[in-house]
């Protein structure tokens, strides 16, 4: 997008691809000799799967992970040729498209294996198998992993390239369950013929738990410059990739006893100057930040007052008399010497950074920058 056209935008997200590049390089160095696959599901965690994927692949990632086949197909349509692992379920009806696009599905049921073998013809199709070691989501039980993989070996068209599991508590202060999952996964591996790629580590484990890195790590949030929780990764410097910006569209006075926003959840106790900012939950900004969040205007942190609505939010700018209509407002990121971190907002909103990133809507134009 032409930077000049931003003067006509009310809300936009600036995505710093150099930050993505720097984070990818740092994590790739950290986890060696394990390989790094960048997780770009949910449209690159809301920041744009194509630009993020290309940047990660140019800076140390050797493959990509998506959640669904259509996400992998979209990356192939953009000309991305790297290995793409589908982490979630694939419907058997999609097997022909998955095979044609050279996507690597996770196989956890015989029906999908049969459909892939039929679609492959003479093959080969590389697949990964997920073992459920305690998350109790998608995956096969450890007790049936051996028989299931022996079943897959009956298909000459299929090659089991990888075996993996997913961690339930790697981002918690207590890592003991993550180690229990690793021990169970190793028990499964010990009873099977060797596979080229064994993997368990997400961002939290890749940053903090070297024993879980194995042959490959799957890193999503970390390449975007964020930590899954306050217990993770503080020894690894990361650069946030997102700055969410809007504009002040009105400044006015509110008298004592007057309320702001739906429900009058905030009532002025003194003469108050407020600024209306053109961003709301229709753009993906969390309504839970009503009366809790902040916005940066002219490098100053201004508290939100009243409820966040679909298209607008309101900030107290009494201490900022120079605030004017048209001022740039930063909702996530840095302005001057001040910064609002995504992790901080997640804690205020009683959620996780993943949700705040992925909820940005199409109404928020993404602007890509390098440096």
Active site residues: 41, 262
Q: 257, 275, 280: which is closest to 327 by C-alpha?
A: 275
Q: 232, 99, 126, 239: which is closest to 171 by C-alpha?
A: 232
Cα distance between residue 20 and residue 37, in whole Å: 13
Cα distance between residue 360 and residue 19, in whole Å: 19
CB 298 within 8 A of CB 322: yes
Cα distance between residue 79 and residue 32, in whole Å: 27
Cα 198 off chain centre by: 22
Cα distance between residue 137 and residue 7, in whole Å: 46
Q: What is the CA radius of gyration of the chain?
A: 23
* Strands, sheet with 125-130, edge to edge from the N-terminal-most edge strand: 104-105, 84-86, 63-66, 35-39, 216-219, 197-201, 158-164, 125-130
Cα distance between residue 338 and residue 149, in whole Å: 54
How is 312-323 classified by DSSP, letter by letter? -EEEE-TT-TT-
Q: 16, 5, 55, 3: which is closest to 244 by C-alpha?
A: 16
**298 burial class (0-12, 13-18, 19+ CB within 10 angstroms)?**
middle
Q: Which residues contact 258 (CB under 8 A, 6 or more apart)?
A: 267, 268
Token look-up 């739906």 returns: 262
Structure tokens that stand for 350 in this block? 């009683």
Structure tokens that stand for 175 in this block? 């890592």
From residue 345, alpha-carbon distances to 61, 197, 274 in Å are 29, 37, 21
Cα distance between residue 154 and residue 332, in whole Å: 52
CB 124 within 8 A of CB 158: yes
């Amino acid at each position: 997008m032409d930077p000049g056209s931003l003067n006509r935008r009310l809300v936009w997200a600036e995505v710093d691809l150099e930050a993505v590049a720097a984070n990818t390089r740092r994590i790739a160095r950290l986890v060696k000799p394990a390989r790094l696959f960048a997780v770009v599901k949910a449209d690159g965690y809301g920041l744009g799967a194509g630009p993020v994927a290309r940047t990660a692949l140019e800076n140390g990632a050797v493959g990509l992970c998506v959640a669904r086949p259509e996400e992998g197909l979209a990356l192939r349509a953009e000309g991305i040729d790297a290995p793409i692992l589908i982490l979630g379920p694939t419907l058997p009806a999609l097997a022909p498209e998955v095979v044609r696009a050279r996507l690597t599905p996770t196989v956890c049921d015989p029906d999908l294996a049969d459909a892939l073998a039929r679609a492959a013809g003479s093959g080969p199709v590389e697949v990964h198998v997920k073992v459920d070691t305690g998350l109790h989501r998608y995956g096969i039980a450890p007790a049936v992993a051996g028989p299931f993989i022996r079943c897959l070996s009956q298909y000459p068209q299929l090659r089991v390239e990888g075996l993996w599991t997913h961690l339930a508590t790697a981002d918690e202060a207590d890592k003991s369950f993550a180690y229990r999952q690793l021990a169970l996964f190793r028990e499964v591996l010990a009873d099977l013929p060797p596979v080229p790629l064994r993997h368990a580590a997400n961002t939290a484990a890749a940053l903090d738990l070297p024993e879980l890195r194995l042959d490959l790590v799957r890193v999503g949030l970390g390449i975007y410059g964020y930590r899954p929780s306050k217990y993770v990764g503080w020894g690894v410097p990361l650069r946030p990739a997102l700055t969410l910006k809007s504009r002040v569209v009105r400044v006015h006075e509110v008298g004592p006893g007057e309320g702001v926003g739906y429900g009058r959840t905030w009532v002025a106790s003194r003469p108050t100057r407020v600024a209306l900012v053109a961003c709301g939950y229709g753009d993906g900004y969390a309504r839970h930040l009503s009366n809790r969040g902040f916005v940066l205007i002219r490098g100053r942190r201004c508290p939100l007052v009243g409820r966040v609505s679909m298209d607008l939010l309101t900030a107290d700018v009494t201490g900022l008399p120079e605030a004017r209509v048209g001022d740039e407002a930063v909702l996530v990121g840095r302005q001057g010497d001040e910064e609002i971190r995504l992790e901080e907002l997640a804690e205020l909103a009683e959620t996780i950074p993943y949700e705040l990133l992925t909820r940005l809507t199409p109404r928020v134009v993404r602007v890509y920058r390098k440096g």
